[in-house]
């Protein structure tokens, strides 16, 4: 096996130099591309940059073969190039490397070309969803892919989304190319959320990077259906902190019973407090989740029954561990959730309205303060 000098450096200089088995010689353009990129950064007077390297997927498969021959001292070519590029660019241009830098240098190895784009922005926040019938992320009609057809009544989508309500005003203000919302879990389309669910909005290729976040928050709230609170700039790495975190939540659930339910029944519901539930993946989500049994604890449950309220209805306040399926805790999902409100009362019970009223996510504020400190340290 022969490698070019670049791929060989990544592989501990172990191979003979020649016609490159991994990249076919494309990586040899790296230093020339760095020179191009330096000129672009200097011309733009950029203070910070991030990089993105696009390489042929074949390289990865082929370097596995090289790894088989030499495990020690080897690194993936992509990592090696990223390191070499960021170090050389900071040195030559005087700009600092930063994952959320003001511009992004794209190294496209299929064309041997370099392109300078606007950098991405990352905005943390907590959203409230005041109206049911909104999905969390964009839900494009699969039939027409957003163009509009009879299937979606010409709208190109099934639901309006929280992502668009927040993303569109931000995109406009930032003069950005696009956005993606990364959230910590999600509520059902028909559920509301007054707790504020943590998210990070990734804003791609943002021309305007000094946004008035308070003004944006007010603009988003004007619709009356979605609010975005606690907005703050964060680093790219915060996306993972938010999406990988799982928090206990409190819910307010309106329940309808098959028959009259009196004080004795309400007492029985209270016995669910502290109980460990066995929840087999609900039938309604089985098509997208692995079918397994989860153990989730009900931390607190209380019945809030107004005087004169229908004896076939009640309001439950439930605090449960992250990942508890509340509708199934009430209905029992044909025996797939045990115990359940329905099972305890030996009659059908159905959740008719669900609201997330609390999310125990204070941990994120601690992380965010740490994040702000590192961001400041980087600027200094
Ligand atoms: Zn090579
Ligand atoms: Zn359609």
99 or 114, which is more confident: 114
Distance (angstroms) between ligand 2 centre and the Cα of 57 equals 33
Q: Is the per-residue pLDDT at 110 higher than 80?
A: yes
Distance (angstroms) between ligand 2 centre and the Cα of 222 equals 28
235 & 147 share domain: yes
**Cα Rg of the chain (Å, integer):** 27
pLDDT digits (tens, 9 = 90+) for 179-197: 999 999 999 999 999 999 9
CATH number at residue 256: 3.30.70.3190
Query: Is residue 344 domain-resident?
Result: yes
Q: Is the per-residue pLDDT at 305 higher than 90?
A: no
Q: Is the per-residue pLDDT at 152 higher than 70?
A: yes
Q: Which residues fall inside 5 Å of ion ligand 2, going by CB?
A: 141, 143-144, 149, 151-152
Query: Is residue 305 domain-resident?
Result: yes
- Predicted TM-score (pTM) of this structure: 0.84
Q: Which two tokens stand for residue 202?
A: 């990734």
Ligand nearest to C-alpha 11: 1
234 & 181 share domain: yes
Confidence category of residue 217, pLDDT binned at 50, 70, 90: very high
Confidence category of residue 372, pLDDT binned at 50, 70, 90: low
Distance (angstroms) between ligand 1 centre and the Cα of 12 equals 13
22 & 75 share domain: yes
Nearest to 301 by CA among 356, 373, 256, 253: 253
Predicted pLDDT of residue 132: 94
Q: Is the per-residue pLDDT at 377 higher than 60?
A: no
Query: Is residue 376 domain-resident?
Result: no
133 & 230 share domain: yes
Predicted pLDDT of residue 378: 46
CATH number at residue 125: 3.30.70.2510
Give the mean pLDDT of 251-259: 97
Confidence category of residue 369, pLDDT binned at 50, 70, 90: confident
Does the annotation count 188 as an active-site position? yes
Parallel/antiparallel/unpaired status of strands 121-129 and 139-140: unpaired
Give the mean pLDDT of 267-275: 97
- CA angle, 270 then 352 then 288, to 5°: 95
Helices (H), the chain: 5-10, 30-44, 57-69, 77-93, 162-174, 213-221, 238-243, 263-270, 326-331, 341-345, 362-379
253 & 351 share domain: yes
Q: Which of 207, 228, 245 delimits the end of a domain?
A: 245
Distance (angstroms) between ligand 1 centre and the Cα of 37 equals 20
Contact in structure between 191 and 168 (CB atoms under 8 Å): no
Q: Which two tokens stand for residue 222?
A: 């004007």
Predicted pLDDT of residue 13: 86
9 & 76 share domain: yes
Q: Which two tokens stand for residue 159?
A: 């639901």
Query: Is residue 107 domain-resident?
Result: no
The residues near 336 (Cβ < 8 Å, ≥ 6 apart) are 279, 280, 281, 282, 283, 328
Q: Report the mean per-residue pLDDT for the chain.
A: 92
Q: Is the per-residue pLDDT at 380 higher than 70?
A: no
Q: Is the per-residue pLDDT at 379 higher than 50?
A: no
How many residues are listed for the chain in this entry? Answer: 380
pLDDT digits (tens, 9 = 90+) for 67-102: 777 666 678 899 999 999 999 999 999 999 998 899
Query: Is residue 224 domain-resident?
Result: yes
Distance (angstroms) between ligand 2 centre and the Cα of 297 equals 41
Distance (angstroms) between ligand 2 centre and the Cα of 148 equals 4
Greatest alpha-carbon span in the chain: 86
Distance (angstroms) between ligand 2 centre and the Cα of 160 equals 14
Ligand nearest to C-alpha 21: 1
Q: Which of 191, 214, 245 delimits the end of a domain?
A: 245
Lowest mean pLDDT among 63-72, 108-117, 203-212, 294-303: 63-72
Predicted pLDDT of residue 162: 97
How many distinct structural domains can be found in the chain? 3
Ligand nearest to C-alpha 80: 1
Give the mean pLDDT of 222-243: 94
Contact in structure between 222 and 292 (CB atoms under 8 Å): no
Range of the domain at 21: 2-97
Please provide residue 120's backbone torsions phi and psi, each rounded to the nearest 5 degrees: -90, 160
Query: Is residue 102 domain-resident?
Result: no
Helices (H), 120-174: 162-174
Ligand nearest to C-alpha 81: 1
83 & 128 share domain: no
Distance (angstroms) between ligand 1 centre and the Cα of 52 equals 18
User: Cα(324)–Cα(359) distance, rounded to whole angstroms?
Assistant: 13
Distance (angstroms) between ligand 1 centre and the Cα of 42 equals 28
Parallel/antiparallel/unpaired status of strands 337-338 and 276-280: antiparallel
Among 188, 190, 214, 333, the active-site one is: 188
Give the mean pLDDT of 293-313: 92
Ligand nearest to C-alpha 145: 2
Give the mean pLDDT of 312-332: 97
Confidence category of residue 373, pLDDT binned at 50, 70, 90: low
């Amino acid at each position: 096996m022969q490698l070019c000098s670049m791929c060989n450096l990544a592989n501990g200089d172990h191979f003979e130099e020649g016609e490159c088995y991994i990249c076919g010689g494309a990586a040899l353009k790296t230093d020339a591309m760095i020179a191009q990129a330096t000129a672009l950064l200097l011309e733009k007077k950029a203070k910070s940059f991030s990089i993105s390297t696009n390489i042929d997927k074949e390289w990865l498969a082929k370097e596995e073969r090289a790894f088989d021959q030499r495990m020690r001292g080897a690194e993936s070519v992509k990592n090696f190039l990223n390191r070499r590029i960021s170090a050389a660019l900071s040195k030559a241009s005087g700009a600092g490397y930063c994952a959320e830098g003001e511009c992004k240098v794209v190294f496209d190895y299929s064309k041997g070309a370099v392109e300078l784009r606007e950098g991405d922005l990352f905005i943390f926040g907590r959203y409230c969803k005041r109206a049911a019938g909104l999905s969390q992320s964009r839900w494009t009609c699969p039939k027409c892919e957003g163009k509009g057809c009879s299937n979606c009544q010409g709208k190109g989508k099934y639901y309006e989304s929280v992502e668009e309500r927040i993303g569109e005003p931000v995109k406009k203000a930032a003069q950005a190319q696009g956005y993606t919302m990364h959230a910590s879990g999600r509520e059902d389309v028909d559920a509301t959320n007054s707790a504020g669910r943590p998210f990070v909005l990734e804003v791609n290729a943002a021309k305007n990077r000094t946004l008035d976040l308070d003004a944006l928050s007010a603009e988003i709230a004007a619709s009356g259906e979605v609010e975005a609170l606690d907005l703050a700039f964060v680093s790219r790495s915060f996306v993972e902190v938010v999406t990988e975190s799982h928090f206990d939540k409190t819910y307010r659930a309106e329940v309808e019973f098959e028959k009259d339910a009196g004080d004795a029944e309400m007492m029985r519901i209270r016995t669910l407090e502290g109980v460990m539930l066995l929840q087999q993946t609900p039938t309604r989500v089985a098509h997208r989740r692995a079918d397994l049994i989860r153990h989730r604890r009900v931390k607190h449950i209380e019945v809030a029954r107004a005087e004169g309220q229908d004896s076939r209805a009640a309001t439950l306040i439930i605090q449960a561990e992250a990942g508890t399926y509340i509708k199934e805790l009430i209905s029992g999902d044909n025996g797939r959730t045990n115990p359940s409100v329905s099972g305890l009362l030996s009659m059908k019970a159905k959740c008719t309205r669900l609201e997330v009223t609390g999310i125990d996510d204070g941990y994120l504020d601690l992380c965010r303060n740490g994040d702000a400190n590192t961001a400041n340290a980087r600027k200094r």
